[in-house]
Amino acid sequence: MNINPYTGIGLAIILAFVLMALLADIIAPYSPTEASGNVLEPPSIHHIMGTDNLGRDVFSRIVFGSRTILMVVFLAVAISGALGTILGLLTGYVGGAIDRVISFIMDSIYAFPSLILAIALSVALGPNPLNAAIAIALTYVPTYFRMIRGQVLSIKSEGFVEMAKALGLPTTRIIFRHIFPHLIPTLAVVFSMNSADAVLTEAALSFLGLTVQPPTPDWGFDLYKGRGFILAGAWWMLAFPGGMITLLAIGFALLSEGISQSHAVKSFE
């Protein structure tokens, strides 16, 4: 099989971060929450990414911080994907007034800035990683809903669904056995693109102090703290957390680019 270069690079980046999160205890040279050197040491062989304002090893915080962001992102994408897909399948299939009302609600939410909605939800739910995941998940439900519903509407009119109906198959069976499988490729693209968005939203919530409490390591929050030491020239407190967030998001973006390219090519042939 021929893997698209974008897909390959994207997957490699994501897998590297997943491994980092899984093997954090082995990879990290120091504790992420306790001082292991002087305050604000620039990168050196002892601390390859330097130390922060409390003398903690930035690299170790990056390694452990990958756990927070990946957990929140995967949880959020799973929840919103499941909710949005189920809602989209059902309302798209059933149609009628319910469909119109739900679509209207979803469209309105979709038009609203997702970050601001996530902020509002996090504030209301209280700042912790689980709530951040729920907040992010809820803001992205419309993304899946709209995509799935649109696809269901177009697939619904095709012959095989009519046939299944004529055979008297139960609705849920038609939906999950006959319609859902056709949506998987599109879902894959949306999942990876949405993961990139979720990475950015998680980082943003963290940056605003809405995800973790200190001293838990978290890229977005560490970046926010690093911002206070920019005048001290502690660029390493900014560059590494900021770079990791960007790299992870780019990984997901490349993956979605790759998947959608392979699909476009296939549908041409």
Q: Kindly write out the interface string for residues 174-203 of this chain, putting x where it contacts other proteins by CB under 8 A and - elsewhere.
A: ----------------------xx-xx--x
Q: Provide the minimum distance between the beta carbon of 139 and other proteins in the complex, in angstroms, as a whole number.
A: 10
Residues numbered 75-134 forming contacts with other proteins, rule: CB under 8 A: 104-105, 107-109, 111-116, 119-121, 123-125
Is residue 139 within 8 A of residue 109, CB to CB? The reply is: yes
**Main-chain dihedrals φ then ψ at residue 18, nearest 5 degrees:** -65, -45
Among 48, 55, 74, 235, binds other proteins (CB under 8 A): 235
Q: Provide the minimum distance between the beta carbon of 207 and other proteins in the complex, in angstroms, as a whole number.
A: 5
Q: How far is CA 234 from CA 29, 56, 151, 226, in A?
A: 21, 13, 50, 8
Burial of 15 (0-12, 13-18, 19+ CB in 10 A): exposed
Q: Provide the minimum distance between the beta carbon of 263 and other proteins in the complex, in angstroms, as a whole number.
A: 15
- The answer to the question of residue 16 lying near other proteins (CB under 8 A) is no
Q: Taking contact as CB under 8 A, which single stretch among the options 38-46, 71-79, 140-148, 235-243 is the one that binds other proteins?
A: 235-243
Residues numbered 40-79 forming contacts with other proteins, rule: CB under 8 A: none
DSSP calls for 93-158:
HH-HHHHHHHHHHHHHHHHS-HHHHHHHHHHHH-SSHHHHHHHHHHHHHHHHHHHHHHHHHHHHTS
Residues in Cβ contact with 201 at an 8 Å cutoff, skipping those fewer than 6 apart: 76, 114, 115, 118, 136, 139
Q: Between 11 and 208, whose beta carbon lies closer to other proteins? A: 208
Q: Which residues pair with 51 in a beta bridge?
A: 57
Q: Provide the minimum distance between the beta carbon of 184 and other proteins in the complex, in angstroms, as a whole number.
A: 22
Q: How many residues in the chain?
A: 269
Q: Provide the minimum distance between the beta carbon of 10 and other proteins in the complex, in angstroms, as a whole number.
A: 10
Q: Provide the minimum distance between the beta carbon of 3 and other proteins in the complex, in angstroms, as a whole number.
A: 17
Query: Can you say whether the dihedral through the CA atoms of 27, 130, 69, 221 is positive or negative?
Result: negative
Positions touching other proteins (CB under 8 A) are 104-105, 107-109, 111-116, 119-121, 123-125, 196-197, 199-200, 203-204, 207-210, 220, 223-224, 226-227, 230-231, 233, 235, 238-239, 241-243, 245-246, 249-250, 252-254, 257
